[in-house]
Amino acid sequence: MKDNKNRVSSFFKPLFGLLHDQYINYVPSYGNSFFFTIGIYLLEVFVILGITGIIMLIFGPYWWDLNPAGVFLRSIHLWAAEAFVTLLFLHVVVNFSTSAFKKKKLVWIIGSILLLLVFLEFAFGLGVEGGLISQWNDKAGADLWNGMGLGFWVNPLNQGAVLGWHVAIVPIILLSLIFLHYSLVRKKGLSLPYRKDIPYKMVKADHAKMYRRMIYILVIIILFAVVFSSPYIPPLTISQVANQSPNTVAVTLLQEFNYSSGTATYFDTINPYTFNTRNVYVLNPYATYVNLTGSKNQAEPLFSESASQQSADFADAYTYFENNGSVTAGINSTNPMISMISSLVQMAKSGVYQSTVQSESASGLDQTYVLRFLYDTGALSKVASKYGLRTAQYGMLKVGAPPWSIEYWLAPYNLLEVETANIPWWSDLENGLVAFLIFLIFMFLPFIPYLNEVPDRLKLYKLFWNRYTNPEMRKKKKKR
């Protein structure tokens, strides 16, 4: 037995040796405190996110949304993500307060980019969760990307693309920058005090204490996952809307037909929704309906009419459905427009309409057509209001329905959205530019005169260089 243990130990010895080679072995006397070892805990949580994410990817959305084991793992993933952002913020605060950026400008810049990427990764993660929260976040996110002129390249309504961003593109960039960030820190060591009145001496790094804290963090994440399970609200479907409010769907179909819907008239810096709403939402699904049911094709007599007669039929149909005309009776109407729209509403009630519209997308994961139609009906906004997800309700902060399920770091941006909502010429582009400008100031803080002196002038270093974190300062106080 002992020989077997020795063989196993010798087999993994090179790996352990490689791991030990990455250690920072000597640190300033305050370097063993929690605040100055946050970087390694971030790496730990990143690994937890990677492992849980891979398992979820293997089993798929139905498993992580509905299976008890999947929901538990998704909860761990969520709280690990919350822990990662919180620890990262604390890491930034420590380095800002101690003016660590003065001597490690490149490390600060890389860390700033990491912070931005983490925000994006969290947002993309919400977009692929699969429920109502995903639907609303995808719609809101699409407006932001479109407003900034990037909607052609980043479309949150396409969950296949978002999944690619979330599980591959952003994580690979993150991992590369984390490695570079840590390598620079390891090469130069932890930041030494820039002030002469902060005593310190170099001591051996307490790796055992660090590992104990890593265990504590893992336990806390698991406990939060057990007590505060990741919320799941089922997605809204066109079938639900059609059964609850058939005339709303009918009116929306008419708006898609004459290009007056929100999607058809969409404009937010650029318009990535260049598809023909008449074809996607009316003519193509109706052709499928005719083929499935063998019904008379009412589109043929409609398009054989004169333009003035078509306009009259459309106006009559709009009035009919606006006044809650019967969809069932409308199928047999002599007005071809009423008959065609009524047939589509019946199709929507059965669920076939949504699957037909979805099948028109190049990818089964591209929800653009479905989500844009749901938004055009107004139903998606109503349900979002019910759960407090609208911008005016500070819904950008919410990861789910429970009050504890929030992205607190988005509060400043949500406030900006609320305060500028009534400015006619102000849009998502301006909000995005303000946020980007603040990010640039943050990233290049080490190079900005006066501003880079703020932490020292406010004596923020006392928050983390004190007798509780630095043994040398305790000794100094005792001597007095």
Q: What is the pLDDT of residue 310?
A: 93
Q: Which pLDDT band, with edges at 50, 70 and 90, does 92 fall under?
A: very high
- DSSP 3-state helix, strand, coil percentages of the chain (rounded to 5)? 70, 0, 30
Intra-chain end-to-end CA distance of the chain, in Å: 58
Contact between 435 and 450 under an 8 Å Cβ cutoff? The reply is: no
Q: Give burial (CB, 10 Å; 0-12/13-18/19+) of 476.
A: middle
| pLDDT value for 466 | 86
Per-residue pLDDT band at 307 (split at 50, 70, 90): very high
User: Please, where are the H alpha helices in 294-427?
Assistant: 299-304, 307-322, 327-330, 336-350, 352-359, 368-377, 379-386, 411-419
Q: Cα-Cα-Cα-Cα dihedral of 401, 405, 408, 411, to 10°?
A: 0
What number is the average pLDDT over the span 397-401?
Answer: 70
Domain ranges of the chain: 30-233+408-479, 238-386
Model confidence at 436: pLDDT above 70? yes
pLDDT of residue 2: 56
Q: 30-233+408-479 has which fold? A: Cytochrome Bc1 Complex; Chain C (1.20.810)
Q: Taking the model in full, what pTM does it have? A: 0.87
The predicted-structure confidence for 123-154, as pLDDT tens digits, reads as follows 999 888 888 988 998 998 888 888 877 877 88
pLDDT per residue as tens digits for the range 96-108: 999 999 889 999 9
